[in-house]
Structures are given as structure tokens and as C-alpha cells.
Amino acid sequence: MTLIDAATRIRDRAYAPYSKFKVGAAIRGAGGDIHVGVNVENVAYPEGTCAEAGAIAAMIAAGETRIAEVAVIADSPIPVSPCGGCRQKLAEFGDKDVKVTLCNTDGLRIQTTIGDLLPGSFTEDYMTRT
Ligand code: THU
């Protein structure tokens, strides 16, 4: 199954009764397995979590710590782009050149990378004085 197919299929399971905006995310780990996630909202709105965060949690629970590729999909007018927090979360586990495919349900695609989504990201290097 392609990464986009996995994200598309899992999107149906999103729990988004408040925004009605269902998002599916799929991550291919360095070992080749696919890990999926959906957004999970809450009546206390800030407690909701994004699809990317769910896919990362599934990846970590499966014993994988490195991201090889990402796909995200929503029923949006233009391909959906990860929020700022999710960009930082993706950067924790994926190199700057990791491919991220932004998708919508009309078949539009935008190809980007973790590095392009989060230029100037905060890294451990800032915490170390040599
Ligand atoms: N959302 C995601 O799951 N991923 C994104 O990349 C953008 C936004 C979710 C959060 C919330 O449940 C809904 O979409 C509307 O913001």
C-alpha cells in the first residue's frame, strides 16, 4: 500500500465532531513499516490532537524512532499542511530531507520536506556550548 493510500484510508476514523475536519496521516518508518494516525478532538478544544501526532505516537509505540517519509490528507481546498506544533514533532524524528506529501481528497498533491516546513528549527545544538 502507498503512504497516501494509508493516510486516505485511516482518515475515515478521525474523531472530529467539533471541526468536522478529518485528517489522516501516514508515516513510513526507517524500517519500512507504515504507521498511521488521525486527529482526535475533545470537547475541551485545546485537548485535541493532530493526525501527525497520532502517527508519530503509533510509530514510537511500534519501536521505530526514525521517519523515512510522511503523507497527510484532508478534505481541504488545497493540500493540508501540518500545524506548527506538528512540524516540530516531525523534525524530532525525521531528517530535513525527509519527503512530506501534502494531499487533499480531490487528488491535489504538494511535495515538500521536513526541513522546508520548519526552517530554522530548534534543535539540541542550541543547548550545547562547546
Ligand atoms: N489538524 C490535523 O490533525 N493536522 C493538521 O495538519 C492540521 C490540523 C486537525 C486538528 C483539528 O482536529 C482539526 O484538524 C482542525 O484544526
73 lines ligand 1 (CB under 6 A): no
CA of 70 to the centre of ligand 1 (A): 15
Active site residues: 52
Count up the domains in the chain and report the number.
1
Q: Give the pLDDT score at 98.
A: 98
Q: Measured from the CA of 86, which atom of ligand 1 is nearest? A: 6
Tell me which DSSP letter residue 125 carries.
G
The CATH number that applies at residue 20 is 3.40.140.10
- How far apart, in whole angstroms, are the C-alpha atoms of residue 71 and residue 27? 7
Residue nearest to atom 1 of ligand 1 (CA): 50
Q: Please list, in sequence order, all residues whose beta carbon lies within 8 angstroms of the beta carbon of residue 82, skipping any fewer than 6 positions away.
A: 50, 52, 72, 90, 100, 117
Q: Please list, in sequence order, all residues whose beta carbon lies within 8 angstroms of the beta carbon of residue 66, skipping any fewer than 6 positions away.
A: 29, 30, 93, 94
Which of 31, 37, 27 has the alpha carbon at shortest distance from 64? 31
Q: Give the pLDDT score at 20.
A: 98
Q: Give the pLDDT score at 1.
A: 87
With the most atoms of ligand 1 within 8 angstroms of its CB, the residue from 15, 50, 81 to mutate is 50
Domain region containing 47 = 3-127
- First and final C-alpha spacing in the chain: 46
Alpha-carbon Rg for the chain in angstroms? 14
Q: Residue-wise pLDDT tens for the chain (130 aa)?
A: 899 999 999 999 999 999 999 999 999 999 999 999 999 999 999 999 999 999 999 999 999 999 999 999 999 999 999 999 999 999 999 999 999 999 999 999 999 999 999 998 888 899 999 7
